[in-house]
Structure 1
Amino acid sequence: MQSCFRKMLIKQKLIRWLEDHRGVVIVLFCLPASFIFDICLRLRNGIIRFLFSAPHQHDERVRAVQGAVQKWNKLPQMEKRPMCTSRPNWLSLSTKFFQKNKCHQIPVSLFDILHLDKERMLIRLEPMVSVRDVTKYLIQRGYTLAVTLEIGDATCGGLALAVGMTTYSHKVGLYQEAVASYDVVLADGSLVHATSKNEHRDLFACLPWSHGTLGFLVALELKIIKVKPYVHLQYIPVKGKKNYCDKMRLLSGALDKDAKTPDYLEATVFSKDEAVVMVGNFSNADQPGDKNKINNVTRWYKPWFYKHVETFLRAGGGDELIPLEQYLLRHNRAIFWVVKSMIPFGNHPLFRWLLGWLCPPKPGFLKYTTTPGIRAMTFTKQVFQDIVLPITVLEKSIDITEQLFDTYPILIYPCRIYDHGANSGQLRPPKPDQMCPGADFGMFYDLGVYGVPGKVKRRERYDAVEAMRTMEAFIRENGGYSFLYADIFMAESEFREMFDLTLYEHCRVKYGANGAFPHLYDKVK
């Protein structure tokens, strides 16, 4: 008995020591290992692309996926398990650990950019093309995706079957609004081309937020926009919660659908009463003095972007020119501000100059090395959530976020949510009082809450489940949605209250997904 008690004390002391010195542990072990891991992964991907990249063989590769699905169909009924892709869990940016070992895994290795259609302003690509790769490809040609993501390792297909948004979303909406078509292999092995206007428009509506539970995505077309080489970014510090909330409503076009809005818009909230609103517009940087305003924000020795933004609270505002590709991936190096909780001294100039090139720890490596014990510990001591809410409740959401999590900064990205009527898919249309006057959309926003809750920092009792269930109740009451890449705590009845699964269930039957793919709730719960 004493021996067990002693072991328990030693374990508790070890965990406490690791918590107190996590930055040192990560720098000495995690960062070098992550760097080597990333080099090996990039080398592997490079070899695969060099040997097997062949856009002209796309149809052949799709037939291979169809063949694997048809082979599954021929299995005895007792041997059939729901299908999923064979892509390892650790390559996903989701915080979840879906048990793929309980599924029949189908290889879907599709990573080529297929065609750039400048006339239709579309790019056709395979689902495993990364945000980093497509961004680099497009910017060199004077374009970018209408809706993208700040994390370069995200895949275009993963975002299409889940959700994404960017600081351009107040003009376009969620990632799904920038998808023109999906090519999907269904449960019977057939290939369908789904658009918003053809006979598969019901499937087109339900693929976003479906997380691979309706079929295997093998290609998609995404809308692109013309761009200039730089973003002229203005930093506007605002005091007072109501003031910065009102400013976001005004600049986003929430009050007037015909208002002239900036190309990019976001806010970083540093306390309940202080925020920096960022307004960005495309620029050629061809005016006198412009070259002196250029800031290469993603270089390894530069301050983390959010810390750079914070300086404008004291400076009283300012502006600069950021190369477009660097602007689009500005949060990649510090994973917004998540790296701060891993390496508290990571933004120190000495660390940045000497070891900044090792950052960030690669999400794939972190997931690959996460044991059930580590998962249980981190699950209860951090928050990582993106939440879509109507901009009418912006002030209330700031209050409840502070009450439940007490962690700053907080991210705000305005975003249109359209009323597509019967073809709205899993998203319930905005309520009448949430619609923009005279428009077919409501202005919502992404509330990004990432970090260590204040109670955990103060070593007070913190109940992660209770906090998130309270937040989820607030989201449901106000007609919002939780991003499903992060942990959710809803019972199935609550999940169905937040999301409308009527058309989704219809598509499950119509396209043979029942029994062939996990149900959405089972996949993300």
Structure 2
Amino acid sequence: MKGWPAHQEAVDRLGASFKRIPAGDRVRLAKKTSNLFRPRDESVTGLDVSGLDGVIDIDIDALTADVQGMCTYEDLVAETLPRGLMPYVVPQLKTITLGGAVTGLGIESTSFRSGLPHESVLEMDILTGSGEIVTAAPEGDHADLFDAFPNSYGSLGYATRLRIKLEVVPARASLRHVRVADANAAVKTIEVIADTGEWEGVRVDALDGTAFSPDEIYLTLAQFTNDAPGKPSDYTGQQIYYKSIQTRETDSMTMEQYIWRWDTDWFWCSGAFGAQNKILRRIWPRRWRRSDVYHRLVGLDEKVGLSRLLDRIKKVPGRERVIQDIEVPVDRLPEFLEWFDAEIGMRPVWLCPLRTTRAWPVYPLTPGATYVNAGFWGTVEVPAGSEPGAVNRRIEEAVQRMGGHKSLYSEAFYDQDTFEQMYGGETLAAARRRYDPDGRLSTLYEKAVRNT
């Protein structure tokens, strides 16, 4: 662990780097990696975040951890699991940072009972656009910043330290892959589990789903236990987790394997790089079977244009990237999936139920109501000369019509008035007037839509 003295040294470096940026220049973090799927303005001066990437301290008695904002969940879990603890919500990809998940909204299979990552945050130290570091908590002088920070994507500042709640967890996860008849049956099952915390008399600690087709939907129910039968499965080798869902009714994993079950194959997206080919998989180094490697391969392809060349050879008229996560009220899920199949036609779709514990103004979901996150990641063929983002625009309109929202880690195309209404424009503006009066940070609309 980092410890407090090392943390303070890193904070001092960060503050010094802010002061070196000429007045009037925009600022942002100097990150070498990102889990975002939208362009970033490389001309903006970066802040020095070296040394802000670890766990500062863990209080086993209080069940809390003080964590630096650039600490990845991979490193965080590596510190907590040996102590029999884990964060309330661990997003499914290893290189997502705690600060990124809180300011950008992470989600995972415990979200139906524990909400989103920011809901287990007790307090945060935030570097604001004015260059100050303030401690924000649910109550006190900076409660307005605490409330507005989730989903602000750095438009209000950057978390240098977060104190989060931890929960006690056993060594294993026992899984049931429950096949349901259709989306309506999935909704009924999700509602029962969200209301009771169990299914058929067995406690459910984590819940997500995989929709392979309209009539092939599985809900994966996990119970955290020390008594899971049999040898735990390992999906970091030749076996592929998402394919096991279709062939196994039950399964078990170590808690670490369960947490990272989706990372090895980036859900199912590793297939685009050949990593699911049996021959290639045997020679593909295990250490390179992980989401951040595939993410870099996507970036490399964008630069060299191999996929564009292959499309020309195949005479594909055009292609649009559709990489999105959206939330709709649980009872609108069947409507959304029916629309999605007819208009977009991508499968599988990841399903992750969630409930928020309180109102959060920049991502306004009804507290206590059940929503379902639908995640879909890939490309679709489009006619030659199609308007850029045409498919994604249709998704935005449909989700809004169905009372939902979409995450902003990928491309967005909203007009500014609609965006401000959906994503707490007045709240953000008030917070920026207080904490970034000179406009040193890009606004949320500039970041999410204009990519500046």
With normalisation by structure 2, the TM-score equals: 0.89
Question: What residue in structure 1 maps to residue 251 of structure 2?
Answer: 320
Tell me if 1:448 matches 2:375.
Answer: yes
Tell me if 1:176 matches 2:118.
Answer: yes
- Identify the match of residue 206 of structure 1 among 132, 148, 157: 148
Higher Cα Rg, which structure: 1
- Identify the match of residue 403 of structure 1 among 320, 342, 347: 342
Question: What residue in structure 2 maps to residue 84 of structure 1?
Answer: 28
Residues matched between the structures, number: 436
Cα deviation 1:402-427 (Å, max 9, x = unaligned): 1222111111100013443xxx2302
Question: What residue in structure 2 maps to residue 353 of structure 1?
Answer: 282
1:136 to 1:70, Cα distance in 2 relative to 1, 3 A: same
- Identify the match of residue 162 of structure 2 among 213, 220, 231: 220
1:355 to 1:60, Cα distance in 2 relative to 1, 3 A: closer
Quick check: which one's helix share is greater?
Answer: 1
Structure 2: give runs of 5+ residues left out of the alignment: 312-317
- Identify the match of residue 489 of structure 1 among 410, 413, 417: 413
- Identify the match of residue 366 of structure 1 among 267, 287, 297: 297
Question: What residue in structure 2 maps to residue 298 of structure 1?
Answer: 235
Give the aligned residue type for 1:92. S
Give the aligned residue type for 1:66. G
Preserved contact between residue 252 and residue 261 of structure 1 (Cα < 8 Å): no
Question: What residue in structure 2 maps to residue 503 of structure 1?
Answer: 427
Preserved contact between residue 300 and residue 356 of structure 1 (Cα < 8 Å): no
In the alignment, the residues of structure 2 paired with residue 58 and residue 375 of structure 1 have an alpha-carbon distance, to the nearest angstrom, of 43
In the alignment, the residues of structure 2 paired with residue 350 and residue 364 of structure 1 have an alpha-carbon distance, to the nearest angstrom, of 22
Preserved contact between residue 230 and residue 324 of structure 1 (Cα < 8 Å): yes
1:460 to 1:301, Cα distance in 2 relative to 1, 3 A: farther
In the alignment, the residues of structure 2 paired with residue 330 and residue 134 of structure 1 have an alpha-carbon distance, to the nearest angstrom, of 17
In the alignment, the residues of structure 1 paired with residue 203 and residue 430 of structure 2 have an alpha-carbon distance, to the nearest angstrom, of 38
Preserved contact between residue 187 and residue 331 of structure 2 (Cα < 8 Å): no
Cα deviation 1:371-390 (Å, max 9, x = unaligned): 45749959934321111111
Tell me if 1:107 matches 2:48.
Answer: yes
Q: CA deviation at 1:63?
A: 2.0
Preserved contact between residue 420 and residue 426 of structure 2 (Cα < 8 Å): no
Q: CA deviation at 1:234?
A: 0.7
- Identify the match of residue 391 of structure 1 among 304, 317, 330: 330
Preserved contact between residue 183 and residue 333 of structure 2 (Cα < 8 Å): no
In the alignment, the residues of structure 2 paired with residue 491 and residue 160 of structure 1 have an alpha-carbon distance, to the nearest angstrom, of 25
In the alignment, the residues of structure 1 paired with residue 364 and residue 164 of structure 2 have an alpha-carbon distance, to the nearest angstrom, of 23
Q: CA deviation at 1:253?
A: 2.1
1:491 to 1:373, Cα distance in 2 relative to 1, 3 A: farther
Give the aligned residue type for 1:335. W
Give the aligned residue type for 1:425. P
Cα deviation 1:198-227 (Å, max 9, x = unaligned): 210110011111111112321111221110
Question: What residue in structure 1 maps to residue 268 of structure 2?
Answer: 337
Tell me if 1:69 matches 2:5.
Answer: no
Cα deviation 1:280-310 (Å, max 9, x = unaligned): 1111127xxx2x2x333333222x2111112
1:262 to 1:373, Cα distance in 2 relative to 1, 3 A: same
In the alignment, the residues of structure 1 paired with residue 285 and residue 276 of structure 2 have an alpha-carbon distance, to the nearest angstrom, of 8
Preserved contact between residue 479 and residue 498 of structure 1 (Cα < 8 Å): no
Q: CA deviation at 1:397?
A: 1.1
Question: What residue in structure 1 maps to residue 315 of structure 2?
Answer: none
Question: What residue in structure 1 maps to residue 132 of structure 2?
Answer: 190
Specify the SS of the correspondent of 1:441: coil
Structure 1: give runs of 5+ residues left out of the alignment: 1-48, 313-317, 431-439
- Identify the match of residue 310 of structure 1 among 246, 250, 253: 246
In the alignment, the residues of structure 1 paired with residue 297 and residue 88 of structure 2 have an alpha-carbon distance, to the nearest angstrom, of 30
Tell me if 1:229 matches 2:198.
Answer: no
Specify the SS of the correspondent of 1:140: helix
Give the aligned residue type for 2:247. T
In the alignment, the residues of structure 1 paired with residue 140 and residue 272 of structure 2 have an alpha-carbon distance, to the nearest angstrom, of 48
Cα deviation 1:92-146 (Å, max 9, x = unaligned): 0101121131x23221121121111223321111111111111121111101110
Preserved contact between residue 414 and residue 443 of structure 1 (Cα < 8 Å): yes
- Identify the match of residue 96 of structure 2 among 144, 147, 154: 154
In the alignment, the residues of structure 1 paired with residue 191 and residue 331 of structure 2 have an alpha-carbon distance, to the nearest angstrom, of 8
Specify the SS of the correspondent of 2:421: helix
In the alignment, the residues of structure 1 paired with residue 215 and residue 386 of structure 2 have an alpha-carbon distance, to the nearest angstrom, of 24
RMSD in angstroms over aligned alpha carbons?
A: 2.7
Specify the SS of the correspondent of 1:396: helix
1:356 to 1:236, Cα distance in 2 relative to 1, 3 A: farther
Tell me if 1:425 matches 2:361.
Answer: yes
The share of aligned pairs that are identical, in percent, is 20
In the alignment, the residues of structure 1 paired with residue 424 and residue 223 of structure 2 have an alpha-carbon distance, to the nearest angstrom, of 36
Cα deviation 1:496-524 (Å, max 9, x = unaligned): 23212211110000112542101111011
More divergent stretch after superposition (480-489 vs 235-244): 235-244
Specify the SS of the correspondent of 1:282: strand
Preserved contact between residue 93 and residue 363 of structure 1 (Cα < 8 Å): no
